[in-house]
Amino acid sequence: MTTTATLTERYISATIRSLAPEMQDDVRTELEGSIADAIDARLEQGEQPGDAERAVLTELGDPGILAAGYADRPLHLIGPKYYLLWWRLLKLLLIIVPICAFGGVVLGQLIDGAPTGEIIGSAVVAALGSIVHVGFWVTLVFVILERTGADTGVKWSVDNLPEPTQNGAGRADAIASVVFLLLGVGAVFWDAFLGFFPTDGAPIAILNPGLWPWGITVLLALFAAETLLAVVVYAKRRWTVGVAVVNTVLAVAFAAWSLTLLVTGELINPEFLSFVFTDNGVTDETMRILAVITGFGLVAFPLWDIIDGWLKTVRARRG
């Protein structure tokens, strides 16, 4: 004949089944005594036995949580001890790794001469895959640290306090932009009249001489506009949405100007290419790869300038 287990017996059994065998008897004895005392207290207050038993077990809560307390086992994936370290590292890697993965795949596919659709698809898949892997493996490492109680060796001190956030609107930024303009203008004129590349005869310019005067005028105008923008930011003492939009337009204009000339073969001086590469036996395939890498850089730097401008705008609005 089978005897139906009481609610108390079922509760105790559910609690101790996940505990180590050497703990089970002691926990069973402790629970039997505490539950019986709590039920007796309710019976003395006039409650019915069934209602008293149910109320006591309800107050004890989920037996799994109770068992975790006895076993000193955490019921969270990552606790407060490691949470901030995990979150800071995860955010940093989720910014760096997907961008590097996306850019690396784009560059590799461009070098292989893949069609545009395949380049975009492969790069997006690589970026999404890197996000999944970063999230999984970083979290797994910290779960292991949490469960084993290992010490990461990272201790907080007042030396870890961050410096005040720079908003890119200081005097140093404006001065740097002016210096960059002067260096850029100087480099353009030096390249045209003195040359950066040593030859046995007359200097050979790197930029196509055919860009003079109008093409170079556009380039110098973009330099001047970037400098004026830096002065405006300094005058306002902060980045604004309007400034970020103008910065984006200037960056896109530079990328469009340089890429268009690169693709049409009008950016680099053909005489320079012949002197440095063709006359030295460099193959057309190598020239194509160098052109792809150059184009990638002409896109990457303006893109970073756009992102940096909007980040400064967000920080300024928060401040």
Can you tell me the distance from the alpha carbon of 189 to that of 55, in angstroms, rounded to the nearest whole number?
A: 89
pTM above 0.85, yes or no: no
- 243: burial class by Cβ within 10 Å (0-12, 13-18, 19+)? buried
Residue 168 tokens read as 């890119």
Q: Which residues pair with 207 in a beta bridge?
A: 268
Q: What is the pLDDT of residue 3?
A: 45
Question: SS in 3 state form for 154-219?
Answer: CCCCHHHCCCCCCCCCCHHHHHHHHHHHHHHHHHHHHHHHCCCECCCCCCECCECHHHCCHHHHHH
Q: What is the pLDDT of residue 167?
A: 60
Can you tell me the distance from the alpha carbon of 293 to that of 296, in angstroms, rounded to the nearest whole number?
A: 5
Query: Can you list the residues of the chain whose pLDDT is less than 70?
Result: 1-5, 152-170, 198-201, 278-282, 319
| Residue 113 DSSP code | T
Other Cβ atoms less than 10 A from the Cβ of 156: the count is 9
Q: Which amino acid is at 211?
A: L
Cis before residue 213, ω within 30 degrees of 0? yes
Q: What is the pLDDT of residue 1?
A: 35
Q: How many degrees, rounded to 5, is the angle at CA 187 between CA 182 and CA 190?
A: 120
Q: What is the pLDDT of residue 279?
A: 64
Q: What is the pLDDT of residue 153?
A: 67
| Non-local CB neighbours of 115 within 8 Å, separated by 6+ positions | none
DSSP 221-251: HHHHHHHHHHHHHHHHTS--HHHHHHHHHHH
Can you tell me the distance from the alpha carbon of 298 to that of 292, in angstroms, rounded to the nearest whole number?
A: 10
